[in-house]
Amino acid sequence: MSKIYLIRHGQASFGADNYDLLSDIGRQQASALGEYFLIHGIKFDAVIHGQMSRQTETAQLMAQSKQFGGELILDKGADEFDSDSLLDYYLPILAETSDVFQQKIYSDQKWFANGRDFELIFRALIALWQQDDRCPFESWAVFRNRSLNLLNRIQSAHGANKNIALVTSGGLISATMQSILGFDNRTFMDMNLTINNASVTEIKIRKKAESSGQLSSPENETISARLQSFNNISPLLMKKQSHLITRK
């Protein structure tokens, strides 16, 4: 049985022209992760990260702060879902569903600047995506299977009794948790809105489960996964700096 540390990237540049860059706080968070693993003697056989800049930079900064025996491995399977396409495609559709959504989406004040409006609209967008069998970009079903395939590839490539850090995004972590715990699609967003930047979620995986917690997709064999901890922000709390606790 191997342990995978699912790590959400540090704070990105929310509201900027290019979201996919770590903010100054995000870089501090990534370094704090490395310090935490070093202090606690946690060594990784490999650090896997997606191809997004915020994921790659988090992995690099984390690795600089601690010595580990493995290597940095880029795997595009760890990428977040395509939020740009989701917004471009479903926002106009959502605006047509009600006057309330139309007013909020096309208001002079940006809808994502208000926390309450952001959650309301983003939940509705995700629901449209999850229900759409004809999604013109990566569908919910394909994204969810991709997250499970990634765990299977990690298990196959690295074998048993390994410590693997997987630096990814909140969506992939949420989809993984939903599958492990057997929750419905609505719970995906409940988790996604909860996961902190630079938080650590630990799972244990092995092949061929005999009971609950089985994860499978059409492209892979069944593995079992067991949740050890969720959304742990101890690396940030150790710094005793409240501004490091973020979710964007």
Q: What is the pLDDT of residue 66?
A: 62
Question: Looking at this protein, which amino acid is placed at residue 220?
Answer: N
Instruction: Specify the higher pLDDT residue, 206 or 21.
Output: 21
Task: Return the residue matching tokens 């909860």.
Answer: 194
Tens digit of pLDDT for each residue in 191-241?
Answer: 999 999 999 999 999 876 444 455 655 455 567 889 999 999 999 999 999
Q: Give the pLDDT confidence of 168-192 residue by residue, as tens digits.
A: 999 999 999 999 999 999 999 999 9
Burial class (CB in 10 A: 0-12, 13-18, 19+), 136: exposed
Choice among 30-34, 129-133, 203-207 with the minimum mean pLDDT = 203-207
Region of 15 on the Ramachandran plot (φ > 0 left; ψ -120 to 50 alpha; else beta) = left
Please give the pLDDT value at position 210: 46
The order of strands in the sheet holding 46-49 is: 72-74, 46-49, 163-168, 2-8, 200-207, 223-232, 214-215
- Encoding tokens for residue 168? 């990814």
> E-assigned strands of 62-199?
72-74, 163-168
What distance in Å separates the CA atoms of residue 166 and residue 197, rounded to the nearest whole number? 14
For range 89-95, the mean pLDDT: 98
Domains and CATH numbers, the chain: 2-81+146-244 (3.40.50.1240), 83-131 (no CATH)
Are 191 and 200 contacting, i.e. CB atoms less than 8 angstroms apart?
Answer: no
Tokens of residue 37, six digits = 């693993």
Q: Give the separation between CA 151 and CA 148, rounded to whole angstroms.
A: 5
The vertex-128 CA angle with 171 and 133, nearest 5°, equals 95
What would the two tokens of residue 62 be?
Answer: 């984390």
- What's the Rg (C-alpha) of the chain? 18
Residue 15 has pLDDT above 80, yes or no: no
What does the pLDDT average to over 13-23? 80
- Alpha-carbon distance 243 to 14, whole Å? 15
Reported confidence tier of residue 65, pLDDT bands at 50, 70, 90: confident
Q: State the Cα–Cα distance between residues 199 and 26, nearest whole angstrom.
A: 12
CB 215 within 8 A of CB 179: yes
- Model pTM score: 0.91
What distances in angstroms separate CA 47 from CA 53, 182, 206, 231, one per listed residue?
Answer: 15, 27, 18, 18
